[in-house]
């Protein structure tokens, strides 16, 4: 009878652990698949289109995703893209402190990924 009484708390604890693992996995994998794929394709263009490059580039986006939240990554990617626009349209993306900060975060994450994956 004592075992049956303990089963309830054990089941509740297992359900709680499964829920927290699911939430944690979701937090760690908040980058959409298409974003990860675009990163890997771009990385492979820069590093060779080999099986080894796939592994290294996949590792790289995983490291970047673990270091920067997705919204910060989007900001940095936007800054990179828009800073290439000539004239007044691109100027805020080249000169603002917020843009520079987001870009620096991405570059630090990519440097860490370079060390760990390549």
Q: Domain limits of the chain?
A: 1-30, 32-117
Question: What is the model's pLDDT at position 93?
Answer: 75
20-29, 39-48, 82-91, 95-104: range with lowest mean pLDDT: 20-29
Question: What is the model's pLDDT at position 23?
Answer: 46
Res. 6: pLDDT tops 80: no
pLDDT band with cut points at 50, 70 and 90 for residue 62: very high
Res. 2: pLDDT tops 80: no
Q: How far apart are CA 55 and CA 49, in angstroms?
A: 11
- Residue 16 CB-density burial (10 A; 0-12 exposed, 13-18 middle, 19+ buried): exposed
Residue with tokens 């394709």: 41
Question: What is the model's pLDDT at position 58?
Answer: 98
Question: What is the model's pLDDT at position 18?
Answer: 47
- In the numeric block, which tokens belong to residue 102? 């987001």
| CB-based contact 63:112 (threshold 8 Å) | yes
| CB-based contact 109:68 (threshold 8 Å) | yes
Question: What is the model's pLDDT at position 29?
Answer: 64
């Amino acid at each position: 009878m004592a075992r049956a009484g303990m089963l309830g708390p054990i089941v509740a604890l297992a359900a709680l652990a499964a829920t927290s693992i699911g939430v944690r996995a979701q937090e760690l994998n908040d980058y959409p698949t298409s974003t990860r794929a675009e990163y890997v394709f771009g990385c492979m263009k820069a590093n060779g289109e080999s099986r080894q490059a796939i592994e290294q580039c996949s590792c790289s986006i995983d490291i970047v995703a673990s270091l920067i939240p997705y919204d910060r990554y989007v900001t940095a990617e936007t800054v990179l893209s828009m800073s290439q626009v000539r004239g007044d349209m691109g100027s805020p993306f080249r000169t603002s402190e917020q843009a520079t900060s987001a870009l620096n975060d991405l570059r630090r994450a990519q440097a860490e990924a370079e060390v760990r994956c390549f």
